[in-house]
Structure 1
Amino acid sequence: MADSKVETISRLAQWRIENFGPCTYKKSDPFKVGIWNWHLTIEKNRYLYIRLFPEPSRASKEQPPIARFVLRVSTTGANRRPYISPIHERLLRTSDDFVWPVDSTFLGRFVIDVEFLDLKICPLNGGEANSIWPTDGTMQSLAAQSALRCLGRMLDEGIHADVTINTADGTLKAHKAILSASSPVFQSMFLHNLREKESSTINIEDMSMESCMVLLSYLYGTIKQDDFWKHRLSLLGAANKYDIADLKDSCEESLLEDINSGNVLERLQEAWLYQLRRLKKGCLMYLFDFGKIYDVRDEISNFFRQADRELMLEMFQEVLVVWKPA
């Protein structure tokens, strides 16, 4: 039947009813919105009952929709008066999941609009439902991924690279703009009439080429977690030297995660050298609050010979606090 067809455009579906008697039931042809085929039905009893539901299929069974939508019913012609539903949001599986009773008489010709505000897939194993339509956050994420791919190519392929970095065992190519945006120290090098500006060369000879490449991959947004973990001590030194605050914070957080008897004294020295308050506190707690100072007694003498006097004083004060008589 001609009046069983539902027209769709974008997220709007429209069903034009040409003839509807006082005691009639009608079901629309299937119409596609999102990844599902849908049906509308109307039934006249005391009220006009409108139902919306997905057509039984593999998609509706394995990926049932959570629909957020508005229904409008209006007469045709110049005096078109809409009867508008509230915004509904619910999981739809069958024709029993949603019914809207319209307390109004619509006979003859009228129009039903369904405007889908959002469609989400309900995960059968629990978890958060995900929209099938891109949101602002999704587009931002896609744009960020595209930008990172471009930056990665710039670094890996040396596209329009304009600065050379001399490391302890090799040279690398990079971009002044990226370095300057990431570090005020690099920015100052290229802003003022320093040697680096004139020669377009930076000497980072306290880092190996491998660890410096990991530093660059962080600045270009393409760093891998395993590389960060492997080179975090070198990255910490570079972050401190070039005033890259977020990298310094990330290194400190990472070094806090795996303190043990084999590295606690080294971590304490690094914390003191780079003024990492949380890491220093964590190391002192590990040694004294948790009593692990006894596990490093063979190494402690050598540590004290090299440690800063203020650090030794702070450790001594920590001993007094922990072993203070009750």
Structure 2
Amino acid sequence: MLSYLARRCLYMIPTLFGISVVAFAIIQLPPGDFLTTLAARLENQGDRMDEAQMSALRERYGLGEPVYEQYAKWVSAIVLHGDFGESFEYGKSVSSLVMDRLPLTVVLAVSTLLATWLLAFPVGLYSAVRQYSAGDYLATTVGFLGLAIPNFMIALVLMYLGHSVFGMSVGGLYSPEYEDAAWNLGKFLDLLSHLWVPVLVLGAAGTAGLVRVLRANLLDELRKPYVVAARARGMPERRLVLKYPLRVALNPFVSNVGYVLPALVSGEVIVSQVLSLPTTGPLLLGALRSQDMYLASSIILIVSLLTVIGTLLSDVLLAWLDPRVRLAQG
């Protein structure tokens, strides 16, 4: 196992390098750069930037250099100094901008992941062992609705119900009085009181999908000969289900960590816009719109790192959970 982990960690280095190249290249694909976007914005506001000022800013930001030189400068600063560059839009370091929003993003992503698992596991298990029951039909119906309704639509409905029915503020993660307050017990409890809304919105589709997957896998295992033979020998039904077929059916739960974590971080852009959440999603959207290449590339690189780490965790957990998985030695 240790040699397997060492090999996988070594594989992460060229993987992240390739991802960084692709991410930086994608930011360069649209015509122009940050300065052309800024000039167009100023012109729409009735202002104008002269050519001398454009040239001076292009020289200052290094936008006149070839793309490969800009990339080499960015990557070398990250590797040698942990410096992700400076945001053109905000005039601040990318590290400070990301660190202001990353902790809340991680809290939201982990909370959503745990809530998804805790809800999907018992519902999927019940739906499989009580196939065609009223609870199974109810879970199936709710699951299809969760997959069909867009997350931002659920967010809009919850915002309306929260304001009109319960008289509470749904947008954001804090009440106005705690927005700029220092961390204390009151602010923490206020965060928990607001956190359930984005967790419910972001976890709706994931929970519905996991319920369907667990139900289908468990039903398939329950019909296999080893289950029929064990049931014929008189093994108690609860022990039979929990000890053998359920362990095999849990594989999708474990293997989905590799894409659930980055999907929650990068896929909550629209939901964060609707709910006014101070996460990395709106920051990434603004960086892409303004062609703030260092900020956008850094956020994409962080999301990619979460993907690689999540895949590693899922592979290790899958090898521990399923004895049929064999790791190559050497």
- TM-score, normalized by the shorter chain, greater than 0.5: no
TM (norm. structure 1) is 0.21
TM (norm. structure 2) is 0.21
Higher relative contact order (CA 8 A, sep 6+): 2
Name whichever structure is richer in helix by fraction: 2
